Amino acid sequence: MAPHDISSLDKQIKALNRRLKLLAEDDELRELLRLIRGPGWTTPSEHKFVTTIVVALDAHVNAIASLKTNLLEGSRQVGVQGVKQAA
């Protein structure tokens, strides 16, 4: 990607936005809620297994949310600084 290839960056941001929306709309975790209430999901090892992954997924979602917030805040600052420098 060229240093100022805004078109390519625009496409990447739009693709990321689509993927995040699809991930948020996915019903697989609802299925997981149904599965863990079924027979066989009663042992401590199964509980530990699922809990560990749920905690890790939650941490990743929190990290993504923080990255997205910081990306937007930083981009706003770059835009403001660029306008001030041009003036």
Written in H, E and C, the secondary structure of 3-62 is CCCHHHHHHHHHHHHHHHHHHHHCCHHHHHHHHCCCCCCCCHHHHHHHHHHHHHHHHHHH
Average pLDDT over residues 60-82: 91
pLDDT exceeds 80 at position 17: yes
pLDDT exceeds 90 at position 43: no
Average pLDDT over residues 8-17: 96
pLDDT for the residue 86: 65
- Answer yes or no: pTM beyond 0.85: no
Average pLDDT over residues 41-50: 87
pLDDT exceeds 60 at position 2: no
